[in-house]
Structure 1
Amino acid sequence: MYSDLPLVYWWNGMKKDIAKFVAKCPICQQVGIDHQKSGGLSRDIMILTWKWEDLNMNFILGLPCTNRQHDSIWVIVDRMKKLAHFIRVKVSYFVKDYAKLYLRDIVRLHGVPLSIIIDRCPYQILRGIGMVAYELDFPNDLASVHPFFTSPS
């Protein structure tokens, strides 16, 4: 605030008067830059290059059953274009069932992605690879889908 005023106004002791005013003003205290927490260290943001190469996956659970007994929705979102597939599923599905659906509805249309982020992952975390990357223990059933899913020995 002080840096803007001397362009238009000036008086003796102006900086001290402005500091007193700002210290007493409740609105100035709430929105002042000096009182905001730092955002922390910045991270490099990966620039996405092509659609359907980087995906997010999640589930919507607890829905009423349809005629075919589907009670959940598997949401698969392209991180670049924010386009999504909503696939009807059952809570009782096994990994093999999800793999078949994935091949039929995603890989057939868009190819194999470079990365997949899954919010709710019931698999074991083996080790951290970086600040936000982990090696997961996938079931050996998924090895037939993609070599990425092979479990380490």
Structure 2
Amino acid sequence: MCVSPLNVVEQRDKCRLILDLRKINNYLDIPKFKYEGLNRVAELIRPGDWMFSIDLKSGYHHVEIHPSCWKFLGFHFKGDYYSFISLPFGLATASFVFTQLNKQLAKRWRASDVQVVPYVDDLLFLCNSHSDARSTCAAVVQDLKAAGFVINGKKSHLHPSRQIAFLGLEIDAAQGIFSIGLEPDRIWVGRYCLLRELQIQDVHDSNLSGHFGVDKNLKALQRFYYWPYMVTDVQRYVAACLICQRMKSSHQRPTGLLQPLEPPQRPFVIGLPARSSGNDAALVVVDRLTKMAHFAPCRTTITAEETARLFISTVVCLHGIPAAIISD
């Protein structure tokens, strides 16, 4: 049996259970597919069409899972073990499976000359006349019930109309217009408006906010405001916050022990271009602890006595007599 974390994601009108199946998803072959969306609507719609839409309630949870796969969809709750026996949110192939089921229903309806655009659990139907739309709606509802689905009455528009909302757009078949509907409880913030930064500052820097991260700031902003690239703006603001950089705990690896560098193996650097003084080499002296270096110009023909005098005038006169001298 497999046990995966179970998360609860809050939405506007409900809470959704999300099973964290990332470990299971790593072993799945996820096929590529395309949704039918607004482009398909633009191809099918005709001037004066009557439309109705249907939203399926908890569509995934009406798709049964084969009993042999229940063991992969388990989770713990209050000390007891449970397992999903229907399609859960969090499975990488869930959207593909659900879309394939919808395509079978769409194929059945299209065989009867019904124009339909399925998008996950949203279905849009287009008909020539009002009476045709009413009869089609009744037949579609019966087909969905026979297939085991439940219709969400609050989000569905079962009464045919020439104006309808679908996938966030307002579709007007009478005038052939697609428009974006405004949400009355959210405010549009203009592109060059200073209000954007002020709103981010208000939810991030106020005494009641506590300099939260990107996700919590976004959740607070999106309740009342909208503007393009809001996520990017919040990420930049949080990353540039000096208080967050100073006070937040670091997630980097702990700093390792300092490893002393090896001192130079050769005390003389030779082969340098000769100067007017005749110096063509340099005596290299490195402090073993601090790695501070002294470079004293000399000649390649320098003797041991001259080296000792040069060492005294370069190092000893500045730092005193060393506790130890290491040289090859």
Give the shorter-chain TM-score range. 0.3 to 0.5
Name the TM-score, length of structure 2 as normaliser.
Answer: 0.20
Q: Which has the higher contact order (CA 8 A, sep 6+)?
A: 1
